[in-house]
Structure 1
């Protein structure tokens, strides 16, 4: 007992990588042994198959040192003194209906194998004219690896996939179900590697070796099935104790022993009866587990993979191999291809136990089943047209393909669209997201966002979650975390559709799109509000600088006619402020001439002299924005001088330097330091206008105030 406990603890401490490497090592040793057995047999260099006439036909000559007359299409009648029959080259002797036939097959294999071991082998053959001929061949001592057929390597691959995938899940999970899965993988490996050697033999194997390999194939297949039954008794709900699982193995090995001792009612029943019984038990256990896990969506999704895998594997295996063999009919697929079918079952169960992307079960299962049904429908229609209506093979296949394309594929696409709609977020909810983003009240926006998620997925609960950058599926799709957006906190949705479904990857992607749309809509709304605020600020600044200056002119003017003219100009400026025209083609010289006259009139009314100097190209054209900025700045500077400077002179100098308009304005008043901030608002407005046009403004004071401004003649972005 103490030794057993130490061994168990040591197993628990075995690192995952060590477990995986152990599985890979076992497969590597087994695969090398299988390759050695396959290549250690005497080799004639002939590929033979059973013909429809009951004889053995030559398919391919792989050696270059054989007579040219020995070519593809001839019939091999004798090897030494043994007359060859079609049954001598069958791949799987388990398909024989009785033990008498099986024993006779083994005896003939021993006889032929002994002949192939001779230094010289006499081969009798006949050509298409039935002319009997004879040739003597010296068999090679070993078979080159390149001569092994595709089916050998396929079965080698299936065995490796079973062992490595099982070992991988066992390394990750470290629980009872993963142990049974690993055992089933090694059972699949033993079955596939044994069959790889004897099913791809050139002609015959030693009787003892053939019997051992056949037993290894049968034992491995049953270990595979018994391990899956034990797995379903333990996962996802434990419905069978240790004694029940032990009983399953005792009964299973009892049936294996009975078959190997030839105690079953018949060879076919003994070979395939236990296997079919195991599959039936597995299906029953899947149904029972589905009922037991009806309130556990993750377990139910895992069981979906079991059901899907068994559906794909057993539907093809039963109707192409097991049933024909038990009815005494030739199997409809080759042994190696049957292992590929079993590998489908195994990989699906491995996915379920590892719980990899179970949230995509609905889409994946629909695709796999629909592809399977489409292929089976194509084959069935092709067979019906050939054997039922007697149409030639090529046109029959074309008609079957056309029927599948016209009727089945549109139906598949329609059903796929319906399934996708049921498992994804309705795209029309985009409108709701925009409405939520435009809701000004933050608490109401949060309430609407939660309501949208609740209506889309009907989760059992929605809780606050830790911050995350993207939508994430948690606990195999049982929960989904939604990041913060629009001022709403991060949320976790628990158990979709009242716990009946898992969140899918499609759900995650769609919600991520909604989150990004919400962020974009909020950013657009904020940008719009910021733009509106900037526009309000601009209009307020323009009203202060331009309309205020014009009204000040009106106040100081004594001429009624002149007042009317100024009011007319003020209305023009007001329209310009409102429209903020962006046209081009205004002549700068004309603008400056009007501005000089206006400024001189305003300053003259309060007895301030104007000195104006301009060195600007008279033909220079500017846009309305620059003209408006220029008028506003000079008007504001003149207004500050009139109101606060107590000056006698005001000077303006304009010049163009390196594509920019330089404006220097100065007065001989008290200076900005003596005004006590009374006109700070005007100076700030001038600075904002200059910066808004991509320019600069500097102010210096001493004996008076000097303002230097630089404005690009091309507006930013042009």
Structure 2
């Protein structure tokens, strides 16, 4: 940072023109005499005490190593030193050509230092890449300090920082730097680049399997250390070959090491997933570097992206390596690989098509880029979306899975139920092992995706599945979602089955209770009736009650006074046949209606109370009071019989049925046995008018 700002500053942003000239893109100061405007061309620069120097686009080239020969490179360095001598003067002039004013001279006093705010975005991008790479390497090394791989990753981070920071300084200079500083920064850039490559080669030589002895690692560093001297000694055919050949060779070695490691770890899903990050990162970084920078330079064309943007791509490459060594979210690599790979392919197609239009069809840069972008949007992006939809289309529960879930829900033997559940999980995920585990609330991944925890439910135990697809891959977040869906579905099936069983038991209990309270009471009434015709009538009523029981009393509502009148007649007849006297009292509005269910409940309670008085109480009379008030029915049944002890009535179906019926209506019940039996129930009344 200090090195970059401690340079003389004219106060302009320069860019290369299409004809090889220098264009003033923007004036960053307002003290030019006369005023300097963006879009004008810079022809020459000088001062009152020095000879003017003509300038062209070569003087502001971002990467001097891209020049065609070493003679051009040496001339460039001499020109840079001469330009530095000029802009170090107190007052300089700029020969400018504009479309409106023609050629004229502009004066300005250069400042001794360049403000930080005047540094371009590309400078800060490369600085960020350098320090972010070093921080990533240090972070992984801090996490896994006992392993050799993270150490080499940290070393590569230092190399990346050296390469990026040096390139940021000389690549974003305003106009010129002293030749000795340019050489120093270039050597530092090359040394950082080959150090980065050497460290990655050593990393892949020991991680995740060691495939090279320490002597080979030392040899890698020795050979890589000699590489920058090729450029310093200028013994390569061209500066580009001297600078980029070593890097290309290193990338090829790295790709070969990844292939070897993949072969050695074919039975280790975690290591293969980590190498997946390596392979994806190397593919992305290598292809972009080779296609966009190295190949164009080696065949004499201009790079297709700037050096600063190339460093941004290198950071992505390096981040992938760091994530692989840190084993971060290995289980999501497949989806991320497709996304990153598809974007990478799109970028390569865009660059390739743009280069073809410029160099093959001779279309100007701006229209060529627009055409390439249009073709990419109309052709590649729809194809990418279609492929992405196919890629993300993961099978859910198969058609065979639904009958299995139903069978699990209907199976009542816990052992067979658990066996069917495990069979469904094995069919879905094909794990190597299935083992019981501790209870869990939700499905989750463990051990970097090596295991999938499947929570249990009811009689199904919690399980952990190890290694999906027969050990060929790790479990993913998609598998977590699918496992949770299966758990939710089987829980619904089990709950539905339980609800069905409870409904069946409840219905059986209701039928048994109604048979006891109503049919039993009617049959007892028949036994005590001497009149044959009356017996026939009672039997007919009993059959009607039986139909009510079977249909669960789902009929229409009834008038309360009609229900009470029929019930009083029936009860009086039963008691009279048994020699008991009935005291009946009822009150309520004749317009009040009750549901068929409540009417059935009233009849059942009164019949059960009368039956108990006839059979057990040794009573002489039975009193029944039914009062409707404030949308509530109060029912009291009492006799003058023997009652029961304070400890409570003897258990039996009759009183239990009464309690169940009252509670089923949302009411309350009290039963006492002092001085005879007394049953008091209060039940809410759903009011309805009866026409």
Which one of 527, 542, 545 corresponds to residue 570 of structure 1? 542
Q: How many pairs are equivalent?
A: 677
Indicate how the Cα distance of structure 1 residues 389 and 449 shifts in structure 2: closer, same or farther if over 3 A, else same. Answer: farther
Residue-by-residue CA offset, 1:384-414 (whole Å, 9 max, x unaligned): 6786497965566435422234545324433
Alignment of 1:656-675 (within 5 A): 656-673=628-645
CA–CA distance in 2 between the matches of 1:525 and 1:473? 30
User: In 1, are the aligned partners of 2:553 and 2:600 still within 8 Å (CA)?
Assistant: no
Q: Distance in 2 between matches of 1:399 and 1:508?
A: 39
What 5-or-longer segments of structure 2 have no aligned partner? 47-51
What is the aligned-residue RMSD (CA, Å)?
Answer: 2.3
Which residue is equivalent to 1:209? 181
Q: Is 1:515 the equivalent of 2:494?
A: no
**How much has 1:483 moved relative to structure 2?**
2.5
Say if 2:502 is the partner of 1:530.
Answer: yes
Q: Call closer, same or farther: CA 1:68–1:342 in 2, change over 3 Å.
A: same
Q: Does 1:83 align with 2:54?
A: yes
Equivalent position of 1:502 in the other structure? 474
Q: Distance in 2 between matches of 1:429 and 1:505?
A: 20
**2:49 maps to which residue?**
none
**How much has 1:361 moved relative to structure 2?**
1.8
Matched, 1:56 2:28: no
Going from structure 1 to structure 2, the CA distance change for 1:395 and 1:494 (only over 3 Å counts) comes to closer
Instruction: Classify the secondary structure of the residue corresponding to 1:273.
Output: helix
Q: In the alignment, what sits opposite 2:378? A: 402
Deviates more, 1:460-469 or 1:574-583: 460-469
Query: Which of 94, 109, 128 is the equivalent residue of 1:157?
Result: 128
Which among 559, 584, 601 is matched to residue 573 of structure 2? Answer: 601
1:596-649: CA deviations, max 9, x gaps? 110011001112111111121111111111111111111100110011111111
Query: In the superposition, relative to structure 1, how do residues 72 and 320 fare at CA in structure 2: closer, same or farther (>3 Å)?
Result: same
CA contact (8 A) 1:430 1:514 kept: no
The reply on whether 1:145 has 2:116 as its aligned counterpart is yes
Where do 1:255-404 residues align within 5 Å?
Answer: 255-378=227-350, 380=352, 388=361, 397-404=373-380
Q: Secondary structure at the match of 1:189?
A: helix
1:176 corresponding residue in structure 2: 148
Structure 2 SS opposite 1:350: helix
Paired residues of 1:614 and 1:655 also in contact (CA < 8 A)? yes
Stretch deviating more after TM superposition (346-355 or 473-482): 473-482
Aligned pairs for 1:97-176 within 5 A: 97-128=68-99, 131-174=102-145, 175-176=147-148
Between 1:226-235 and 1:328-337, the stretch displaced more is: 328-337
Cα distance in 2 between the residues matched to 1:225 and 1:273: 12
Is the CA contact 1:459–1:495 (under 8 Å) kept in the aligned structure 2?
Answer: yes
The answer on whether the counterparts of 2:433 and 2:465 sit within 8 Å (CA) in structure 1 is yes
Q: Is the 8 A contact 2:579 2:620 kept in 1?
A: yes
Moved more, 205-214 or 340-349: 205-214
3-state secondary structure, aligned to 2:677: strand
Kindly tell me: are residues 431 and 350 of structure 1, through their superposed partners in 2, closer, same or farther at Cα, counting changes over 3 Å? Answer: farther
Q: How far apart in 1 are the matches of 2:372 and 2:65? A: 34
Structure 1 position 383, deviation (Å): 6.0
1:91-147 CA distances to partner (integer Å, 9 max, x unpaired)?
Answer: 111212322222221111111112111111111111226832112101122222222
Unaligned runs of 5+ in 1: 1-33
Q: Structure 1 residues 354, 136: CA separation in 2 closer, same or farther (over 3 Å shift)?
A: same
Contact 1:554–1:567 (CA under 8 A) maintained in structure 2: yes
Change beyond 3 A, Cα 1:526–1:412 = closer
Residues 93 and 425 of structure 1, relative CA distance in 2, 3 Å threshold: farther
Counterpart position of 1:218 = 190
Q: Matched residues in 1 for 2:589 and 2:338: separation?
A: 77
TM-score in terms of structure 1 length: 0.90
Q: Is 1:492 aligned to 2:464, yes or no?
A: yes
Distance 2:646 2:224 in 1: 108
Where does 1:399-548 land on structure 2 (aligned, <5 Å)? 399-417=375-393, 420-421=394-395, 426=398, 429-548=401-520
Cα distance in 1, alignment partners of residues 38 and 666 from structure 2: 88
Distance in structure 1 (CA, Å) of the matches to 2:362 and 2:43:
37
Alignment check: 8 A CA contact 1:123 1:136 kept: yes
**SS class of match (1:672):** coil
Per the alignment, residue 28 of structure 1 pairs with none
State which drifts further: 628-637 or 678-687.
678-687
User: CA offset at residue 306 of structure 1?
Assistant: 1.0
- Residue 208 of structure 1, CA deviation: 2.6
SS in 1 for 2:590: coil
CA contact (8 A) 1:159 1:193 kept: yes
In the alignment, which residue of structure 2 is the partner of 1:685?
657
Relative to structure 1, the CA distance from residue 38 to residue 266 in structure 2 (aligned partners, 3 Å threshold; closer, same or farther) is same
Structure 1 residue 463 displacement after superposition? 2.6
1:19 aligned partner = none
Distance verdict in 2 for CA 1:139–1:385, change over 3 Å = closer
CA contact (8 A) 1:645 1:675 kept: no
1:656: Cα distance to partner? Answer: 2.6
In structure 1, C-alpha distance between the alignment counterparts of 2:16 and 2:501, rounded to whole Å: 84
315-324 vs 407-416, greater mean Cα deviation: 407-416
Retained in 1: the 8 A contact 2:649–2:673? no
Cα deviation digits, residues 44-85 of structure 1 (max 9, x gap)? 111111212222111111112224642122111111012112
Report the Cα distance in structure 2 between the residues aligned to 1:226 and 1:679, rounded to whole angstroms: 89
Q: Is the 8 A contact 2:34 2:106 kept in 1?
A: no
